[in-house]
Amino acid sequence: MAELVFFSGTMDCGKSTLALQMDHNHRARGRGGLIFTRLDRAGEAVLSSRLGLATGAIEVTDAMDLWDVVVAHRTGGHRVDYVICDEAQFYTPTQVEQLARLVDDMEVDVFAFGITADFRPQLFPGSRRLIELADRVQVPQVEALCWCGRRATHNARIVDGVMVVEGEQVVVGDTSGTAAGEVEYEVLCRRHFMRRMNSRAARAAALSADVLPLELAACALPAPGDDPHGG
């Protein structure tokens, strides 16, 4: 029985690495598959992992019909037993419905990988539809960690070093030089997400005894030798 599986998590928890491994495992068993991605950090039509692995992929656009793409490949004589969908949070809800149809009507396994919520934090429309339709939602076993060492559950957007909670839903990182400033992302635990305490803010606060927040005294700071009760 084919399945629609959604592997969801924060950034930095190894989703793309898992996607590449999944493709390798199925290919090694003689199955044929397609790899989709959208707005990968390495550029168009590439699925890349932070560990340095990469492979070619089909770049998804808003107008693309994923059902049609699979049908075209099969019509062309290629096997499509499964599809890997990386960065699935950026797919449209309609495309997620097309993926579900591939599972139900064509017996194609769909393995989707994506971030659940954006930096505000609100569910991405694609991720919401995946949670609604998936046979299974799985959380990767590798946990991303906040600077404090707790499990990171939230993706924070950092603009010019400062955490923001308003703005466009999709701004891919490393866009330095734009009017909006340098955009980066950092994973945080909920406690530090709610307090807008990214690693840089925490370091700055730790250096200034006057504004040392109470919660920082309760959890370890990354810099060794710091005495939270000093000063």
User: Of 74-133, which residues contact Zn ion (CB under 5 A)?
Assistant: none
Q: Closest Cα partner for 158 from 136, 134, 184, 132?
A: 184
State both tokens at 83: 């599809």
> Which residue, chain included where needed, has tokens 């029985």?
1
Closer residue to Zn ion (CB): 34 or 201: 201
| Residue (146 or 206) nearer to Zn ion, CB | 146
Near Zn ion by CB under 5 A: residue from 19, 35, 189, 216: 189
* Binding segment (CB under 5 A) for Zn ion, from list 22-30, 59-67, 190-198, 201-209: 190-198
Q: For residue 93, say if its preceding peptide bond is cis, omega within 30 degrees of 0.
A: no
160 contacts 122 by C-beta, under 8 angstroms: no
Catalytic residue numbers?
Answer: 87
26 contributes a contact to Zn ion by CB under 5 A: no
Q: How far is the CB of 24 from Zn ion (least distance, A)?
A: 34
User: Can you read off the two tokens belonging to residue 86?
Assistant: 């990386």
Question: Is 100 in contact with 70 (CB distance < 8 Å)?
Answer: no
Q: How many residues bind Zn ion (CB under 5 A)?
A: 5
- The DSSP code for 142 is S
**Site map (CB under 5 A) of Zn ion, residues 138-177, x = contact:** --------x-x-x---------------------------
Token pair 């797919």: residue: 91
Closest separation between CB of residue 149 and Zn ion, Å? 7
Where along the sequence are the contacts to Zn ion (CB under 5 A)? 146, 148, 150, 189, 192
